């Protein structure tokens, strides 16, 4: 087991290392002079621009720039924002709890809606219940977050007046969490359905049924437990997907998380912040994936010895 965890951690480290290379190169992918673009809205003199270039190390060869970046990273220094001149890490950490709250709430909605729907569709395979559930799931998967968000806003905030439109309070969490959660519930419903169909066809389920065990015991104790294994592994990916979706949804509902911060950074051409966001986001996804992998290994012993 320890060997397996060590392997996963090593893979995670490599992934994060690739992300550090990518963010270092990012600034050079910009057409034109990045410093001039970053500071375009300020009345900067050539001397001031040169000073910025030096402070960011952009006057150095790229391998030196990368070494400098890694050196700062080791000290937990992601640089300072162009807009507002704040430490990038502080800015990200200040907004991260809002995104985490949204992601967790959305995941809870996705699980509570998606898994029962998928389970029901699998159990009633081939019936109208199955077709109806999968139709809803396809609509959910196909509908852009942006559009679903506006529709929910229209009905629940504007028509019914039950929920506020925009902001970062507790009541404001409901609509963005529903938007993200329902879209992900659709994905989860499809996954659950196919996982459960596989399980229902397995010999051990047929054996349990043949033994005359009550249907609920067969379904919940035998089938569902076995079916959970692939679903749990997908939850890690779902979480990453939720974090990505948050970029759009946070913008629609003015939810003050890192997703919106990323958009603000892009529009402001705040490269240190964009770099910080990518690295931060990549690290979160990698860490969650490792946790899920380890969890998966605990659930299914074949994996750690495989």
Report the interface residues with other proteins, using CB under 8 A: 31-33, 36-38, 40-45, 83-86, 91, 94-95, 146-147, 150-151, 153-154, 157-159, 161, 164-168, 251-254, 256, 260-261, 263-264, 267-269
Which of 133, 137, 130, 299 lies closest to 231 in space, CA to CA? 299
Sign of CA dihedral 123, 128, 131, 134: negative
Instruction: Give 222 or 260: the residue with its C-beta nearer to other proteins.
Output: 260
Min separation Cβ 28 and other proteins, Å: 15
The sign one gets for the Cα dihedral 122, 125, 128, 130 is positive
Q: Which residue has the tokens 């621009």?
A: 49
CB of 110 closer than 8 Å to CB of 185: yes
Residue closer to other proteins, measured from CB, 227 or 259: 259
Nearer to other proteins, 193 or 260 (CB): 260
Q: Nearest Cα to 213, choosing from 202, 203, 205, 225?
A: 205
Looking at the Cβ atoms of 75 and 85, the one nearer to other proteins is 85
CA contacts within 13 A on the Cβ side of 301: 0
Angle between helices 174-200 and 225-252 (to 10 degrees): 160
Give the residue with the Cβ less far from other proteins, 42 or 204.
Answer: 42
Least distance in angstroms from the C-beta of 214 to other proteins: 50
Q: Minimum Å distance from CB 161 to other proteins? A: 7
Spell out a b/e string for 218-239, using b for 16 or more CB atoms within 10 Å of the CB, else e.
bbeebbbebbbebbebbbbebb
């Amino acid at each position: 087991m320890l060997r397996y965890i060590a392997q996963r951690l090593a893979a995670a480290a490599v992934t994060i290392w690739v992300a550090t290379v990518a963010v270092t190169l990012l600034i050079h992918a910009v057409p034109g002079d990045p410093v001039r673009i970053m500071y375009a809205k300020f009345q900067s003199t050539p001397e001031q621009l040169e000073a910025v270039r030096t402070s960011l190390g952009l006057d150095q060869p790229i391998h030196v720039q990368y070494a400098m970046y890694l050196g700062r990273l080791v000290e937990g220094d992601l640089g300072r924002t162009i807009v507002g001149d704040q430490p990038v890490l502080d800015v990200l950490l200040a907004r991260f709890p809002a995104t985490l709250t949204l992601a967790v709430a959305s995941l809870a909605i996705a699980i509570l809606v998606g898994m029962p729907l998928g389970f029901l569709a699998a159990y009633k395979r081939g019936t109208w219940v199955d077709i109806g559930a999968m139709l809803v799931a396809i609509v959910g998967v196909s509908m852009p977050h942006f559009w679903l968000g506006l529709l929910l806003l229209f009905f629940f905030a504007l028509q019914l007046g039950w929920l506020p439109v925009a902001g970062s309070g507790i009541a404001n969490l409901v609509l963005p969490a529903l938007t993200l959660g329902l879209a992900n519930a659709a994905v989860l419903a499809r996954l659950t359905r196919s996982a459960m169909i596989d399980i229902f066809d397995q010999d051990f389920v047929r054996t349990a049924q043949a033994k005359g065990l009550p249907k609920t015991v067969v379904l919940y104790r035998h089938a569902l437990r076995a079916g959970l294994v692939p679903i749990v592994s997908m939850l890690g990916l779902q979480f990453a997907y939720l974090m990505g979706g948050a970029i759009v949804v946070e913008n629609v509902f003015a939810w003050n998380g890192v997703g919106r911060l990323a958009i603000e950074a892009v529009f402001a051409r705040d490269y240190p912040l964009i770099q910080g966001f990518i690295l931060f986001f990549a690290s979160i996804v990698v860490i969650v994936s490792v946790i899920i992998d380890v969890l998966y290994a605990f659930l299914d012993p074949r994996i750690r010895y495989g």
